[in-house]
C-alpha cells in the first residue's frame, strides 16, 4: 500500500528519496514510539509524512527525576532524560507492531559516546526503519559533558561514525545552542549527513520563587513551543543557505501550531515541517495544518507544496548580523 495515498496530491513531497504524503513530521519525544497518539479519537498516522520515534540509546534508560515537564509562557520546558527501553528492544518488540503502510518512521539515535551512536545506528540499519535522525545534542561523557552538537568537530565525528554504520538516510538534528549553526551544517554535510532537522530545543530554566528551587528536577530543560519560533525560522534560513546548492532537505521545527507557521518554515527553506509541542495544544492539529497549506496553495497559485520551499523574498536591506542588531 502506498503510504502517500489519501491526502491532497499537492501535499506530497520527496524527502531523501522517501515519499511523504504530507510535509508534516511528528517530532521525536512527542508521540512515543509511533503508537501513542493513535489512541486519540480521530487521529491517524496517515495524516503526516513521517513520524520520528522517541530518542533511543544502546542500553535502557529510566530518565530524569520529576518534574520533567513544565509549561512556560508560549512554550514548554522538558527534561525527560531519554527514557527508553534500549535500541534492541525497540527493533525487536516495537517496530514489528508499527504499520509502515500508513506513514514513514524515522529512528532517533542518541548516545554519550561516538561509539554508542555508531552501534545504535548499526542496530537500526538492520530494521525496517525508513531513516535515522541523529540527536547530537547529547552530552559527550569523554569530553566533560560538552554537547556533541555544540562543536562542529564533534558533530562531524558523530555523523561520520553513523554514516559508516548505515546506508539509510541520515538526518542530523542541529542544536541552536551553538555559535555558528551554518558552519556546523557544512561540516556535517561533509561527514555524510543526507538532511537536517532544524532546530532542537533551546536550553532554559523555570524557578519556583517560593521554594527558591528550579521547577525541573534536572534543573534545566529544553524549551519548545511558539516562544522559540522566530529563532527557529532564522536558523532554518541560515542552514538553507548551506543546503540549497546541494539539494539537501531540511525539517524545519520549533513552535509550529498552525498552517501559517508551517508555511513560514517552508518559505525559509524547509522541505518538511516538524510538529511537536503543538500536539499538546491540539492532538488533531495536523489535519488543520494540511488543510491550511492546501488553501494557501490555492490562493497563491502554486501547484505543489514543494514550490514554496525557499521562496522567501528578502527585503532590500542586508541581513542583520548579531552586531548590527544590537541597540
207, HSE (Cβ side, Cα atoms, 13 Å): 4
Residue 269 C-alpha cell reads as: 527553506
User: Which of helix, strand or coil describes residue 111?
Assistant: coil
134: left (phi > 0), else alpha (psi -120 to 50), else beta?
beta
127, HSE (Cβ side, Cα atoms, 13 Å): 27
β partners of residue 131: 106
Cβ within 8 Å of residue 305, ≥6 positions away: 10, 11, 12, 13, 23, 266, 293, 297
Residue 138 is a catalytic residue? yes
Cβ within 8 Å of residue 179, ≥6 positions away: none
Distance, CA of 295 to CA of 279 (rounded, Å): 21
Count CB-CB contacts under 10 A for residue 44: 15
* Set 138, 188, 243, 286: catalytic member: 138
User: How far does CA 220 lie from the centroid of its chain?
Assistant: 20
Strands of 68-201 (E only): list them: 69-72, 75-78, 104-109, 131-135, 170-174, 195-198
β partners of residue 135: 173
Point out the residues that are catalytic.
138
Amino acid at each position: 500500500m502506498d503510504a502517500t495515498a489519501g491526502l491532497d496530491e499537492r501535499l506530497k513531497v520527496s524527502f531523501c528519496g522517501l515519499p511523504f504524503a504530507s510535509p508534516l513530521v511528528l517530532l521525536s519525544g512527542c508521540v512515543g514510539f509511533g503508537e501513542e497518539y493513535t489512541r486519540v479519537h480521530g487521529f491517524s498516522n496517515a495524516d503526516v509524512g513521517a513520524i520520528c520515534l522517541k530518542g533511543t540509546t544502546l542500553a535502557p534508560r529510566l530518565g530524569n527525576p520529576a518534574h520533567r515537564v513544565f509549561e512556560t509562557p508560549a512554550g514548554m520546558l522538558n527534561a525527560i532524560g531519554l527514557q527508553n527501553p534500549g535500541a534492541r528492544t525497540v527493533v525487536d518488540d516495537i517496530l514489528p507492531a508499527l504499520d509502515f503502510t500508513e506513514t514513514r518512521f524515522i529512528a532517533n539515535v542518541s548516545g554519550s559516546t561516538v561509539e554508542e551512536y555508531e552501534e545504535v545506528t548499526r542496530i537500526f540499519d538492520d530494521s525496517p526503519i525508513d531513516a535515522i535522525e541523529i540527536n547530537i545534542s547529547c552530552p559527550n561523557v569523554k569530553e566533560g559533558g560538552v554537547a556533541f552538537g555544540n562543536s562542529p568537530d564533534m558533530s562531524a565525528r558523530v555523523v561520520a561514525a553513523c554514516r559508516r554504520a548505515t546506508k539509510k538516510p541520515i538526518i542530523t538534528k542541529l542544536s541552536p545552542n551553538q555559535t555558528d549553526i551554518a558552519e556546523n551544517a557544512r561540516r556535517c554535510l561533509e561527514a555524510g549527513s543526507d538532511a537536517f532537522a532544524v532546530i532542537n530545543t533551546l536550553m532554559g530554566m523555570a524557578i519556583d520563587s517560593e521554594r527558591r528551587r528550579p521547577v525541573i528536577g534536572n534543573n534545566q530543560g529544553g524549551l519548545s513551543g511558539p516562544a522559540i519560533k522566530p529563532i527557529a525560522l532564522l536558523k532554518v534560513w541560515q542552514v538553507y543557505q548551506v543546503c540549497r546548492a546541494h539539494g539537501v532537505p531540511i525539517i524545519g521545527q520549533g513552535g509550529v501550531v498552525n498552517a501559517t507557521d508551517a508555511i513560514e518554515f517552508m518559505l525559509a527553506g524547509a522541505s518538511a515541517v516538524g510538529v511537536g509541542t503543538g500536539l499538546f495544544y491540539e492532538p488533531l492539529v495536523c489535519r488543520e495544518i494540511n488543510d491550511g497549506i492546501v488553501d494557501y496553495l490555492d490562493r497563491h497559485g502554486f501547484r505543489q507544496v514543494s514550490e514554496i520551499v525557499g521562496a522567501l523574498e528578502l527585503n532590500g536591506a542586508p541581513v542583520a548580523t548579531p552586531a548590527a542588531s544590537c541597540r
